[in-house]
Structure 1
């Protein structure tokens, strides 16, 4: 199990690929942009041009042991075609990156056992992988992503008001995302669904004021909401099963 293919070498997939190479694994990566092929290959990543919506054959890319899916596409037909190809490949294990956006804001702490939003395409795609018996899949529902050039201070610009200031923040740093995937592979932890989110949940007002001030920017403008809709994502299952400790567990120190 030392061959990994990463579908989507972008903001998360590229540094993940580099970290797996540093661990001595054989890594293939994909992009939908011809211009990025040379950039990825310069990092030592064997790179392929893959767009699941174009219904092409991805045999060489899928000649691997573990497939990590790190794309934002919600093309159900494209994923059905991809899965049919995975079934006929050497892939044994899949990590599918999903999102905590599958949970509704119903003013409670959300675990993996809680209800999800009806008719959510991500949930449908999750189920396609979860129900397939040709390979084993672990699904990671990441909270809001930040790290590197993706800094929360830059998310609401030009006076755009931030909604739900008394609601709570659910965030995870890119370094934790990468380390969690390393841990899943190292511990051979499959057929699971995990929430992945920092344990720290400041209010949106506290978080974004702090983020702006940390960059020397003006204090953001917030909407005045009569009713508050929020959720707090629990990662207790992930921490217990993987014995995982978050690298960035204080969101006020971003």
Structure 2
């Protein structure tokens, strides 16, 4: 189990691929942009140009033990085609990167046991979990930040930030990468996990500090008397993997 294919070498997938190479894995990586092929190959990633929305054969890319799906596509037909090809490949394990956006705002703490919204994303999750040819673990990441993705750059152009009394659910890219490594290292499959820092400051606290930390003015907020919120619980993944978040104090970051 030392061969990994990463579908989507973007903001998360590219540094994830590098981290596995550093651990001695053989890594294939995909991109939909021909311009990015050379950059991936320079990092010693076996680069593949592929788009699941096109009717292609992915045999070479799927010649691995583990597949990590790190693309944002919601193309259900494309995923059905991909899964049919995974079923006939050497892939034994799949990690599907999902999102905590599958949970509605019900003004309470949300766990993996809670009902999800009916969305293309939850339908795609089910497609992976239903296959009898490989084992899948779903990771529902909260809001992603880290690297060049800094919250100070969000809500630009005088946009008012909604729900200032609501709570922030976020996770740093370094924690995303480490959690994926731990799932593979500890051989934890057929699971659904939420992954989100334990710290949940209000949106007013978080975005004010984020803007000020980069020299921006104090942001404007909507005046919401009634507000909707959710707090994502990561208790399950912390207990199952014995995991401690690297970046758990969002205001310190």
Give the whole-Å Cα distance in 2 for the aligned partners of 1:49 and 1:117.
32
Question: How far is the alpha carbon of 1:213 from its aligned partner?
Answer: 1.1
Question: How far is the alpha carbon of 1:12 from its aligned partner?
Answer: 0.1
Structure 2 spans left out of the alignment, 5+ residues? none
Q: Which residue number corresponds to residue 110 of structure 1?
A: 110
TM-score with structure 1 length normalisation? 0.99
What is the 5 A alignment of 1:37-186?
Answer: 37-118=37-118, 120-186=119-185
Q: Which residue number corresponds to residue 240 of structure 2?
A: 241
1:130-171 superposed Cα distances (whole Å, 9 cap, x missing partner): 111110000000000000000000011111000000000000
Look up the SS of the partner of 1:11 in the other structure. Answer: coil
Give the whole-Å Cα distance in 1 for the aligned partners of 2:137 and 2:101.
17
Give the whole-Å Cα distance in 1 for the aligned partners of 2:167 and 2:187.
33
What is the 5 A alignment of 1:222-241?
Answer: 222-241=221-240
Over 2 Å off, 4+ runs: none
Q: Which residue number corresponds to residue 188 of structure 1?
A: 187
Look up the SS of the partner of 2:140 in the other structure. Answer: strand
1:99-158 superposed Cα distances (whole Å, 9 cap, x missing partner): 00000001000000001112x110000000111111000000000000000000001111
Q: Would you say how many aligned residue pairs link Structure 1 and Structure 2?
A: 253
Structure 1 spans left out of the alignment, 5+ residues? none
Does residue 22 of structure 1 match 2:22? yes
Question: How far is the alpha carbon of 1:226 from its aligned partner?
Answer: 2.3
Q: Which residue number corresponds to residue 253 of structure 1?
A: 252
Give the whole-Å Cα distance in 2 for the aligned partners of 1:218 and 1:23.
42
Look up the SS of the partner of 1:53 in the other structure. Answer: coil
TM-score with structure 2 length normalisation? 0.99
Give the whole-Å Cα distance in 2 for the aligned partners of 1:10 and 1:40.
10
Give the whole-Å Cα distance in 2 for the aligned partners of 1:223 and 1:77.
39
What is the 5 A alignment of 1:195-210?
Answer: 195-210=194-209
Look up the SS of the partner of 1:54 in the other structure. Answer: coil
RMSD of aligned Cα (Å): 0.5
Look up the SS of the partner of 1:153 in the other structure. Answer: helix
Look up the SS of the partner of 2:89 in the other structure. Answer: coil
